[in-house]
Amino acid sequence: SAIGFMLILIGFGLTPTWTLFLQAMFISGVAAAVGALSFVPNGAGVTEFTDAAMLMAIVAPANPEITPAIAATAAIMQGFFHKWFRVLVGLAVAFIFRNRIFSPALEADIAEVEAARHAKPIISTSEMSAV
């Protein structure tokens, strides 16, 4: 995540240095922790706000390229890549290994459960209201 965040910052014109990498690693870690401790689902918004605020506080003083607009954009991009990259990788793995994950036996079990779910109830609702 820190490498991805650093690549985003490099894309906005910052020079890649070890200091920038350590700052990106610190910001990513703290923002993820704040997002997790906020009790907001997936830290939505909280993580991005923390990323942007810490960019302005830690990185911007030494890099005049970082404006509030760039910090907000970088934070939103970081949030997208940090959260949705895992989803995309999971979908790719599920697609590649779908035959192992969803074996014919499992598909038969699912079909059986679906058939039972859609079967007619033994007691109709009108019979239940009469009882």
Give the pLDDT confidence of 22-50 residue by residue, as tens digits: 999 999 999 989 988 998 888 888 999 99
- Residue 54 confidence (pLDDT): 96
Q: What angle do CA 67, 73, 78 make, to 5 degrees?
A: 125
**CA-CA distance, 23 to 40, in Å (whole number)?**
25
Task: Look up the pTM and report it.
Answer: 0.65
**CA-CA distance, 55 to 26, in Å (whole number)?**
10
- The overall longest dimension of the chain from CA atoms, in Å, is 78
Structure-block tokens of residue 101: 């994950």
Where along the chain do its domains lie?
2-85
For the chain, the C-alpha Rg in angstroms (whole number) is 24
- Residue 25 confidence (pLDDT): 94
**CA-CA distance, 101 to 122, in Å (whole number)?**
34
